[in-house]
């Protein structure tokens, strides 16, 4: 009974190592990840400063997560497209990369709209406009 539990824990630990390796890869190799990181930090500080509600926090966290998830999926698609095309220009590899980039763009643009909706009124009030 102990051995299956040990194997289960070991395999879960390995899964976490793979996930952290992916996180590290994205942060080291994707310039846009630093833009997302900076924006995420600014949004968290503005949220704290404006003392947004718990529901607004939930929306902000989901929005940040959506943008990061899109970036990670886009990076995975790019790597798979590069692998499948052996570094050669291939029309379908380009389509995959372009669609992945569009997903990040959609997530980023929607996050801006959500930010305006959540931060707009309290910012206007706080700044006295």
* Residues known to be catalytic: 71
- How many Å separate Cα 13 from the centre of its chain? 22
Burial class for 83, CB neighbours closer than 10 Å (0-12, 13-18, 19+): exposed
Distance CA 120, CA 27 (A): 30
């Amino acid at each position: 009974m102990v051995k299956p539990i040990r194997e289960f824990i070991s395999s879960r630990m390995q899964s976490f190592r793979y996930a952290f390796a992916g996180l590290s890869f994205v942060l080291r190799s994707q310039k846009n990840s630093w833009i997302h990181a900076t924006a995420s930090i600014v949004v968290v500080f503005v949220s704290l400063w404006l003392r947004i509600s718990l529901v607004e926090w939930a929306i902000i966290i989901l929005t940040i997560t959506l943008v990061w998830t899109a970036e990670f999926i886009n990076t995975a698609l790019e790597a798979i497209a590069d692998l499948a095309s052996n570094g050669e220009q291939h029309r379908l590899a380009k389509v995959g990369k372009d669609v992945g980039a569009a997903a990040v763009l959609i997530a980023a643009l929607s996050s801006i709209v959500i930010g305006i909706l959540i931060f707009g009124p309290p910012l206007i009030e706080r700044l006295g406009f």
